[in-house]
Structure 1
Amino acid sequence: MKPELPGFYYDEEKNRYFPIKGPIPGAKASSSSRTQQKPDPKPEQETNYQKRTKLKALKLVYSRELNGNVVPVNKKMSNFKEEIQKTQASYPVVWRYESTKHTGDAALKQFQVDVQTSVGLTRKNILVAGSSSGCLSILRVSKAKQVFDGGIDCDPVSVLPLKENNAEEREAPWFVWRPAQPYLALSTISSIQLIGRYDDASENSNPVNRALITTLGSTGRGSIFILNVADERNILTPRSLQGNVSSECTIWTADCNIRGSHAAIGTDLGAASVDLETGTGSYFLGSKSDVLALQFHQSGNIVQCGLRNGAIVSVDLRERPGRPFPRLTRHQIRYQSSSKTGQTTKNKQWFELQGNINPSHVIYMPSSLTCLKTLKTSDQYLMASSMDGTIRLYDQRLVKRGVAVQTYEGHVNSHTRIEFGIDPTEKFLLSGGEDCYTRIWSIKSGQLLSENKFSDSVPSVVCWSTDERQKDRKDGIIYGAWLGSHEAIFNML
Structure 2
Amino acid sequence: MRPELPGFYYDEEKKKYFAIKGPIPGSKPSSSSRTKQNPEPKPFQEPNYQKRNKLKALKLLYSRELSGCVIPVNKKKCNFKEEIEKTQASNPVAWRYESTENIGDAALKQLEIDIQTSQGLVRKSILVAGSTGGCLSILRVFRAGQVLVDEPETQAINGGIECDAVSVLPRKANDAEEREAPRVIWRPARSHLQALSSISSIQLIRRYDASEDSHCVKRALITTLGSTGRGSIFLLNLAEEPYILTLRSLQGNVSSECTIWTADCNISGSHAAIGSDLGAALVDLETGAGSYFLRSKSDVLALQFHQSGNIVQCGLRNGAIVSVDLRERPGRPTPTLTKHHLRNPSSSKTSQNTLKKEWFELKGNINPSRVIYMPSSLTCLKTLKTYDQYLMASSMDGTIKLYDQRMVKRGVAVQTYEGHVNSHTRIEFGIDPSERFLMSGGDDCYTRIWSIKSGQLLSENKFSNTVPSVVLWSDVERKTDWNDSIVHGAWLGSREAIFSMF
TM-score between the two structures when normalised by the length of structure 1: 0.83
Pick from 188, 198, 215 the counterpart of residue 198 of structure 2: 188
- Structure 1 partner of 2:14: none
Tell me, in whole angstroms, the C-alpha distance in 2 between the residues paired with 1:175 and 1:55.
31
- SS of 1:153's equivalent? strand
Q: Which amino acid aligns with 2:178?
A: E
- SS of 1:59's equivalent? helix
- Structure 1 partner of 2:341: 332
- Structure 2 partner of 1:113: 113
Q: 1:149 to 1:348 in 2, by over 3 A?
A: closer
* Cα deviation digits, residues 391-430 of structure 1 (max 9, x gap): 0000000000000000000000000000000000000000
- Structure 1 partner of 2:306: 297
Tell me, in whole angstroms, the C-alpha distance in 2 between the residues paired with 1:366 and 1:390.
8
- Structure 1 partner of 2:61: 61
TM superposition shift of 1:80? 1.6
Given that 2:392 and 2:403 are in contact with CA atoms closer than 8 Å, whether structure 1 keeps it comes out as: yes
Structure 1 position 309 matched with structure 2 position 311: no
TM superposition shift of 1:97? 0.5
Pick from 451, 474, 483 the counterpart of residue 460 of structure 2: 451
TM superposition shift of 1:49? 6.6
- Structure 1 partner of 2:130: 130
TM superposition shift of 1:205? 4.5
Tell me, in whole angstroms, the C-alpha distance in 1 between the residues paired with 2:423 and 2:147.
40
Given that 2:300 and 2:317 are in contact with CA atoms closer than 8 Å, whether structure 1 keeps it comes out as: yes
Pick from 245, 251, 265 the counterpart of residue 254 of structure 2: 245
TM superposition shift of 1:383? 0.2
- SS of 2:231's equivalent? strand
Pick from 172, 175, 184 the counterpart of residue 163 of structure 1: 172
Tell me, in whole angstroms, the C-alpha distance in 1 between the residues paired with 2:487 and 2:203.
22
Q: 1:197 to 1:469 in 2, by over 3 A?
A: farther
* Cα deviation digits, residues 261-312 of structure 1 (max 9, x gap): 0000000000000000011100000000000000000010000000000000
Structure 1 position 172 matched with structure 2 position 185: no
- Structure 1 partner of 2:371: 362
Given that 1:437 and 1:453 are in contact with CA atoms closer than 8 Å, whether structure 2 keeps it comes out as: yes
Tell me, in whole angstroms, the C-alpha distance in 2 between the residues paired with 1:338 and 1:72.
50
Q: 1:423 to 1:219 in 2, by over 3 A?
A: same
- Structure 1 partner of 2:13: none
- Structure 2 partner of 1:9: none
Tell me, in whole angstroms, the C-alpha distance in 2 between the residues paired with 1:171 and 1:198.
37
* Cα deviation digits, residues 411-455 of structure 1 (max 9, x gap): 000000000000000000000001100000000000100011110
- Structure 2 partner of 1:89: 89
- Structure 2 partner of 1:42: none
Tell me, in whole angstroms, the C-alpha distance in 2 between the residues paired with 1:170 and 1:469.
15
Tell me, in whole angstroms, the C-alpha distance in 1 between the residues paired with 2:232 and 2:475.
26
Aligned length: 436
Percent identity of paired positions between Structure 1 and Structure 2: 79
Pick from 442, 448, 451 the counterpart of residue 442 of structure 1: 451
Tell me, in whole angstroms, the C-alpha distance in 2 between the residues paired with 1:321 and 1:247.
31
Tell me, in whole angstroms, the C-alpha distance in 2 between the residues paired with 1:348 and 1:184.
41
Q: Which amino acid aligns with 1:192?
A: I
Tell me, in whole angstroms, the C-alpha distance in 1 between the residues paired with 2:470 and 2:296.
26
* Cα deviation digits, residues 335-369 of structure 1 (max 9, x gap): 33599xxxxxxx98111100000000000000000
Which ranges of structure 2 fall in alignment gaps of 5 or more residues? 1-46, 150-156, 349-355
Task: Say which structure, 1 or 2, has more relative contact order (CA 8 Å, 6+ apart).
Answer: 1
CA-atom RMSD, angstroms? 2.6
- SS of 1:217's equivalent? coil
Q: 1:184 to 1:440 in 2, by over 3 A?
A: same
Instruction: Tell me which moved more, 307-316 or 229-238.
Output: 229-238
Given that 1:50 and 1:56 are in contact with CA atoms closer than 8 Å, whether structure 2 keeps it comes out as: no
Given that 1:301 and 1:317 are in contact with CA atoms closer than 8 Å, whether structure 2 keeps it comes out as: yes
Q: 1:393 to 1:198 in 2, by over 3 A?
A: farther
Tell me, in whole angstroms, the C-alpha distance in 2 between the residues paired with 1:391 and 1:367.
11
Matches within 5 A, 1:184-263: 184-196=194-206, 205-263=214-272
TM-score between the two structures when normalised by the length of structure 2: 0.82
Given that 1:251 and 1:266 are in contact with CA atoms closer than 8 Å, whether structure 2 keeps it comes out as: yes
Tell me, in whole angstroms, the C-alpha distance in 1 between the residues paired with 2:420 and 2:319.
17
- Structure 2 partner of 1:5: none
* Cα deviation digits, residues 122-144 of structure 1 (max 9, x gap): 11011110010111011111112
- Structure 2 partner of 1:101: 101
- SS of 2:226's equivalent? strand
Q: Which amino acid aligns with 1:60?
A: L
- Structure 2 partner of 1:44: none
Given that 2:250 and 2:288 are in contact with CA atoms closer than 8 Å, whether structure 1 keeps it comes out as: yes
TM superposition shift of 1:476? 6.8
Instruction: Tell me which moved more, 69-78 or 209-218.
Output: 69-78
Given that 2:206 and 2:215 are in contact with CA atoms closer than 8 Å, whether structure 1 keeps it comes out as: no
Given that 1:372 and 1:382 are in contact with CA atoms closer than 8 Å, whether structure 2 keeps it comes out as: yes
Pick from 483, 496, 500 the counterpart of residue 491 of structure 1: 500
TM superposition shift of 1:51? 6.4
Q: 1:55 to 1:310 in 2, by over 3 A?
A: farther
Q: Which amino acid aligns with 1:155?
A: D
Given that 1:244 and 1:283 are in contact with CA atoms closer than 8 Å, whether structure 2 keeps it comes out as: yes
